[in-house]
A and B are shown apart, each in its own frame.
Chain A
Amino acid sequence: GENVEQHPSTLSVQEGDSAVIKCTYSDSASNYFPWYKQELGKRPQLIIDIRSNVGEKKDQRIAVTLNKTAKHFSLHITETQPEDSAVYFCAASRRGNNDMRFGAGTRLTVKP
């Protein structure tokens, strides 16, 4: 089955700096890659997703890039703010297949 690895496990940045989180996946048939943000004690919430027919997607300060050849995808957060502090999870699955596999998570801390 699919295996998703996520790095780094913790990331600390100064407010206003950029943050980058990287994930690799093993199943070349995976074609849907969501990113979730989870605040302490809360549910995971989708922040952005990308499908395999697209190389990059942006939504305000958040962007995701996908390299299908290398089987890795990354989350980029620019102009970080203290409220961006949370745990971020990447995931991968085949479209139409709910067998979603998650990375272990990255704890992002944004220092004011």
Chain B
Amino acid sequence: NAGVTQTPKFQVLKTGQSMTLQCAQDMNHEYMSWYRQDPGMGLRLIHYSVGAGITDQGEVPNGYNVSRSTTEDFPLRLLSAAPSQTSVYFCASNRIGQPQHFGDGTRLSIL
């Protein structure tokens, strides 16, 4: 098992550009989540999904879109990147009521 795979590992964008952060898991986990991590602020939940076709907002959803068309994939879309979205993004997956498994993260810089 590869676990949770995030791509790309690093990305630099210009303000206003769009991009999709990819997340895939091969553990057949029902739940998947996206977090951002900023210095001194821990991890903050952006969006999460409890199964294919179902998504919900977390603590800081503004500026981000998600979809869950398959169990394995949970992409995060930035429609118009802003400097405030510079952060490290982590994807996680888990079975219901079980601990989350995190990917290695995507380090995103927006100029």
Chain A residues near B (Cβ < 8 Å) = 1, 6, 9, 32, 34, 42-46, 49, 89, 91, 95-96, 98-105
Contact = CB atoms under 8 A, between A and B. Distances in A.
B43 A46 contact: no
Contact of A98 (B31, B40, B59, B102): B31
B99 A89 contact: no
Interface of B: 31, 33, 35, 40-45, 48-50, 56, 58-59, 90, 94, 96-97, 99-100, 102-105
Contacts of B35: 102
A49 B97 CA distance: 11
Nearest to B101: A46
Contact of B94 (A45, A98, A102): A98
Given A32-B97, A96-B97, A44 B90 contact: yes
A91 B100 CA distance: 11
B43 A98 contact: no
B109 to A, nearest CB: 15
